[in-house]
Amino acid sequence: MPVEAAMLSGPMIASPDMEMDALRRLMVDHHQRYLPVMDGNTLMGVVSFHDVAKAVLEEQSFENRMLKNYIRNWPREPGEEDEK
């Protein structure tokens, strides 16, 4: 059986400049585990849902660290004492 008989012709594609949220939504809405990333007619690579999930977790982890640091270093009002 040739590959052509089993492959999906005309698959959905992602572009290199696509936002991660748009890519995630596209993959979830269309039940796609993998998407080719195309720049015009050039295949740049293939992105997996695992890649997207990992990027989202890393972004959330970074944001959480930044928020915790901001809270930890919250500016004190004049006359406020440290709570112990």
Question: What residue segments make up the domains of the chain, in order of their start?
Answer: 12-72
CATH architecture of the domain 12-72 equals Roll (3.10)
* Each residue's pLDDT tens digit, 20-48: 889 999 999 999 999 999 999 999 999 99
Total residues found in the chain within this entry: 84
The gap from C-alpha 59 to its chain's centroid, in whole angstroms, comes to 8
pLDDT at 84: 52
Say how far apart CA 57 and CA 40 lie, in whole Å: 29
Reported as a pLDDT band with limits 50, 70 and 90, residue 10 is confident
pLDDT tens column, 73-82: 887 777 766 5
